Amino acid sequence: MSATATPIPPSQFALAIKDLPLPNLHFKAAEIRNQIAHLASSNAQLAEFADDVDCKEAIAENEVVMGRMVERLDLLKAEVEGRGNLWIEDGEEKEKEEKAVLNGAATGEATSNGDIATNGVSSQAQAQSAQSGRLTDEELRAMLRARMEDPAGEDEAGVFL
């Protein structure tokens, strides 16, 4: 495909993102990260057939494309930070959260038999959620459990969507 379509040069990409709103910049970064993940997965699958010339070419081409995408992520980061905002890598943040959950250190929570026990950290989050009209994870979890445990008033026929 790269033989027929030339990629956008970094300078033009940087110019194109100047007028985008902040949420669009973050969305574009997530989109690019997703594309990189798919290309990396494709390369992992192609690695089994690395002896084949076509597979070698495809792997090399994917690596070049991934390099361009990383460069675009850097341009997005520079644009976000240039506007005075913080750049948060979603992938890195999720990894840190998952590791913290595995260690039982995420926001003071520890799990036991699937039940989450909090250390009182969520009281501030509950106050904030009441103001914003949104539920915290704990509040949503509690509401779902209450519905599942108390099927009063529900038909036994099942769930209708």
pLDDT at 150: 61
Backbone CA torsion sign across 140, 145, 150, 151: positive
- The secondary structure element, H or E, covering residue 112 is strand 110-112
Mean pLDDT, range 60-66, rounded to an integer: 94
Instruction: List, in order, residues 6 or more apart from 29 with CB less than 8 Å away.
Output: 73, 76, 77, 90
pLDDT at 109: 45
pTM of model > 0.85: no
Where do the domains of the chain lie?
A: 10-88, 107-149
Residue type, 93: E
Mean pLDDT, range 68-72, rounded to an integer: 95
